[in-house]
Chains A and B, each alone.
Chain A
C-alpha cells in the first residue's frame, strides 16, 4: 500500500478542489451562453451527458499536450517526437513539421525488438511479399495459414504448455475468452488492480465477480472460503466453477504477482487459475519465459496462461496457452476465433523470429544478451532512483518503474521539463490510477545503453528537484535501501 505524506495529501486535495471549483464556474458560464445560442438538436438528448465529460473538458484539456504525443520514427531507444502547438488554450493541438530527438522511456519495448531488427525484419518483409498484409477472413474460414500454425506451436513450446491459440489483438483475447470459459452460475475472483480488458471480459461473461485485495494471498483465501461456503447469491446453490484471475506484472505498479502462494491456495480450494502475462512474458525470467520461470512455478500448475506479443516481441496480438482439450474447445467456441480477421501474417512472422532469437536458434547469443541486459538495466536504474530519494514502486527485476507525483500540477510540469531536455516520459493519472495517486511511469528496454540510462538519471534528478518530488531523503548506503523496500510493501 502506498502511504501518502500528510502534507502532500492536503496540498493534493486542495489542488483538485481548486480545479473542480474553477471547472464548475466555467461550466456555469457555458450553460448560460449555451442557453442563448440555438440548439439544432431539438428533441434529442445530448450525446455526452453533462457530468460524463467534465473531467475531459476541465482537467484533461489543460494538460493535453502531455499525452498522445505523435512520433515519426520507430519507437526504439531514441525516437523523434513531433512538436505540436495550440492556438486555443490546449483544446486542439496542431502538428508542425519540427521534430526533436528524445530518449524513449515510455514505450513498451522491453527487449528492443520494436525498431528494425537485423534478423527479424528481412524475414518479415519476405513473409509480407508471400502472404500480403492480411488474409481478409477469419481463422475458421480461410484465414489460417502455415504461419499461424507454426506460431501456435512455437508459443506453446516457449511458454511450456501443450498447445496455444493466437489472436490478432491482446485486448480482444481477454474479452472474448473469459465469456467462453465461464458463464452464469460461475464465480470470477479477480485482483483489484486488474487491467480493463479483464474487467470487460468478466462483465461480458455474466458470471458473478468478486474482487480481492491487490496481491494479498491471505485475503484471497478469505474471499474463497466465504464464497464457497455461501454459494450463489440469493439461491445459495453451490458455484459451478471458480476462476481466479491475476496478472504477472501489474503495469501501473510495476509489482510482481505473489504467484506461488496464490497457486497453492487455488489448488487447495479447487479453483482454476488464469494468469495474464501481458507485461512479463519475454521480459522477466532467465530465458524470458515470464513470471513462472522467475518465481519457480510449474507452468502445468496454472490452468490458463494468457499473454500479449505487443510488449516484448515488438508485434501485435495475444495468445492463450493451456491443455490440448482446452485449446480445441476454444477453437470451437471463441467468437474472436470464429468471426474476427486472423492475425496479420507479417506480424506472426515477427513473433516467430523474435522467439527464435530469444532461444538462440538464429545462431547468435543476441537473445541471451538482451535478456541479461534488461535485467541489469532495470535493477541499476531502480537502485539509482531509490538512492536519489524518489518514491519508486514495484519490485526488483521488473522493468516498469512508477515514480509517485501525487499533485496534479506536477504532472504537466514534470512532463514538459523533461521534454525540454529531450527525455520523453509517460504520465499516468486518473482514470488509469486512483485520483490522488498520479505518477510517472518509466519503462526500461534492453536497447538502452549505459550512457542513455545515466543521462536519463541526470535529467530526472534535475527535474525532480525542480518539481519537488523527492519525498524520501537521498541515501548513499545499500543497507538503508533494504529498509525502504520493506516500507513500500
Chain B
C-alpha cells in the first residue's frame, strides 16, 4: 500500500524530469545548430569565426558599457539657511586693532614755530636736527613772498584733479622749471612726496616684469613694488657685488627676459641708512645686462653735485642714462609734493596711467610756486651748497668718536645716521634705548634729534638708529653742541 501511494509521485516527477531534460536538450541542439550554422563558419581575414566569439563580443560590449558609466558621486548638499545662520552667529571676529602697548602711547614733540634750525618746543628754544631742511630755505623771505602772492591769487587748494580744471598755470611753469634745471625733456608733478614712487612704478611694471631692488628702500617704493605685482628680487644694501650676482642670476634664469621689462630701483641717498648709491657702477651694470634704472633722488636733489642737480652731477653721469628720476620736494626745496622726470614718452604715459596723478587732486598752487622760487634761489646762491657740505663734514668729525655709536651713513650724505655699535638683539629694545637717548638730549640739552621709527608694515630690515638732518643754516656752535650733548648722554645711558 505504501509503495502504491509513492509510486505515482515518483513516476510523475521522473516524467517531468525527462520532459525538462528533453526540452533542454532540444534547446541546446537548436543553439548549437544556430551557432554552427554556415554563416557562423565564415572565415573573416583568415580567422575562423566560431560560435563562442559572439558570446565574447557580447561580454566586451557589456564591459565597455559599465566602464562608460560615470563613477558614483554622493549628491551635493548645499548648506541650508539655518546652518548658515548658525555659522554666522558662531563666528567671532578679531578686534579691529590689537591691544595697545606702552610704546604706542608715546607722543612726538610739538613745534610751536617754523621748523628752522632754531625752533620752539614746549616753550623752550631748541636746536632742530629733525627737519630735512638741507638748504635752510624754511622761512626764506623770497619763498614766503611768492607763497603769499599765490595764496591771494589762487586760494589754498586747487579743487580738482589735473584732468578736470585742476591744472593751474603755476603747475605747468613748475614742471617746465624743473625740467630746465635738470636738463630733461619734461617732468610731471605729484601732490605728495610719498605717492610719487608708489604711483610711478605700477604705471611701468606689471605682472611678469622683473624688478631688482635694494633691500634698504623706503616704504613708498616697497608699496609701489607690491602694487605692480611684478617679480621682485632684492640685493644686499648698497653692495655692487651682490647686485652683479643678482643681475647675472636673473638674466640666466629667464630666457624670455628679452621680452620682459627689467628695472633696477635704487635711492640716491637712502633714507634708512644715509648711504649713497654708486651710480657709475650701477650704470655700467645696467648697460651690460640691459636693465632700466629708476632713481629716487629725494634726499640728494639740491644737495649733491656742484650745482645741486643731484647724484648724476655728483658722479658725472649724463642724466639721459637714467630712465626715470623721481624726487620728493619735501626735503631740500622746503615745500611739499613730488616730481618725476625723464623722457617725453615716460612722462606722457604717466599722465593717463599713474593713479596718484589721475585720481587725486593736484598740488596746491602756492606750494608749486614755492618750488619754483626755491629752485631760483638755489641757482642764484651756490654758496648754500658749500655751507651745507662744510656743516656735514664738521658734524661727521664731531660724532665719529662717540663710544657706543657708529656712523652708518656716507661721509657726504646730509643724513647722519648713528647706529648702536652693539645691538641689544631685538629691534624693539634697540628702539627703546635710542628713544631714551633722544628724549634726554631734548630735555637736558635742548637739542631735537629723532630715533628712526619703523612701521609694522615696513619690510626693511636695516638697523635702526638716530638720524640727524644737517642744514646749511646750522651754525658751528649748533653742531658742536650737538656732538658734545650726544657724547655725554650716550655715555650715561649705555653705562646704566
Contact = CB atoms under 8 A, between A and B. Distances in A.
Interface stretch (B66-74, B162-170, B308-316, B418-426): B162-170
Given A44-B290, A56-B352, A335 B157 contact: no
B35 interface: no
Given A107-B166, A180-B457, A137 B130 contact: yes
A416 interface: no
Interface in B133-176: 133, 138-139, 143-144, 147-148, 151-160, 162-169, 171-172
The interface size bin for chain B is 35 or more
A73 interface: yes
Contact of A136 (B138, B157, B166, B358): B138
Contacts of A229: 79, 83-84, 87-88
Interface in A236-281: 238-242, 269-272
Interface string A224-244: 111011000000001111100
B91 A314 contact: no
Given A75-B165, A144-B111, A328 B144 contact: no
B159 A145 contact: no
Given A135-B131, A314-B156, A130 B93 contact: no
A334 to B, nearest CB: 7
B453 interface: yes
Interface in A26-81: 43-45, 47-49, 52-53, 56, 60, 67-76, 79, 81
B132 interface: yes
Nearest to A113: B155
B195 A171 contact: yes
B450 A142 contact: yes
B96 A181 contact: yes
Nearest to B219: A335
B233 interface: no
A242 B156 contact: no
Contacts of B469: 137
A271 B93 contact: yes
Interface in A172-205: 172, 175-176, 179-181, 195-197, 200, 203-204
Given A134-B138, A347-B157, A168 B361 contact: no
Given A45-B261, A137-B131, A339-B455, A169 B195 contact: yes
B198 A175 contact: yes
A144 B110 contact: yes
B130 A45 contact: no
Nearest to A95: B172
A433 interface: no
B262 to A, nearest CB: 8
Contact of B115 (A72, A136, A175): A136
Interface in B358-416: 358-361, 363-364, 366-367, 370
Interface stretch (B26-34, B98-106, B477-485): B98-106
B202 to A, nearest CB: 9
A315 interface: yes
Nearest to B141: A129
Contacts of B336: 133-134, 168, 341, 344
Interface stretch (A14-22, A120-128, A405-413): A120-128
Contacts of A238: 91
Contact of A172 (B116, B192, B450): B192
A72 B171 CA distance: 10
A106 B361 CA distance: 13
Contacts of A458: none
Interface in A311-326: 311, 313-316, 325-326
A340 B197 CA distance: 12
A372 interface: no
A56 B192 contact: no
Given A45-B259, A229-B79, A316 B455 contact: no
Interface residues of A, number: 117
Contact of B164 (A49, A106, A338, A350): A106
Contacts of A272: 93, 96
B330 interface: yes
Contact of A47 (B159, B292, B450): B292
A132 B115 contact: yes
B11 interface: no
Interface in B93-125: 93-94, 96-98, 100, 103-105, 108-116, 119
Given A45-B258, A134-B138, A311 B111 contact: no
A347 B366 CA distance: 10
A310 B114 contact: no
B204 A47 contact: yes
B356 interface: yes
B217 to A, nearest CB: 12
A333 B456 CA distance: 6
A2 interface: no
A125 B458 contact: no
A75 B168 CA distance: 9
A153 interface: no
Given A47-B292, A68-B162, A116 B147 contact: no
A117 interface: yes
Contacts of B364: 315-316, 344, 347
Given A45-B259, A133-B367, A137-B132, A346 B450 contact: no
A308 B161 CA distance: 13
B394 to A, nearest CB: 21
B279 to A, nearest CB: 19
B113 A107 contact: no
Contact of A72 (B79, B104, B169, B323): B169
B157 A315 contact: yes
A136 B163 contact: no
Contacts of A129: 144, 148
Contact of B96 (A146, A326, A424): A326
Contacts of B450: 140-142
A339 B96 contact: no
A426 B160 CA distance: 11
B165 A74 contact: no
A116 B359 contact: no
A72 B469 CA distance: 37
A181 B97 contact: yes
Contacts of A239: 91, 93
A196 B199 CA distance: 12
Interface stretch (B43-51, B220-228, B235-243): B220-228
A95 B349 CA distance: 20
Nearest to B355: A196
B342 to A, nearest CB: 9
Interface in A410-454: 424, 426
A459 to B, nearest CB: 17
Contacts of A169: 191-192, 194-195, 360
Given A239-B93, A332-B103, 10 more contacts: A74-B153, A75-B165, A131-B115, A133-B144, A142-B450, A146-B111, A170-B360, A197-B360, A329-B97, A426-B165
Interface of A: 43-45, 47-49, 52-53, 56, 60, 67-76, 79, 81-82, 95, 104, 106-109, 113-117, 120-121, 124-125, 128-137, 139-146, 149, 168-172, 175-176, 179-181, 195-197, 200, 203-204, 224-226, 228-229, 238-242, 269-272, 303-304, 308-311, 313-316, 325-326, 328-329, 331-336, 338-341, 344, 346-347, 350, 424, 426
Top 10 nearest A-B pairs by Cβ distance?
A: A142-B130, A341-B330, A169-B192, A340-B194, A171-B360, A310-B361, A332-B104, A196-B359, A107-B159, A329-B97
12 contacts: A56-B348, A75-B166, A125-B148, A132-B143, A136-B131, A137-B131, A142-B131, A168-B336, A169-B192, A242-B93, A310-B361, A332-B103
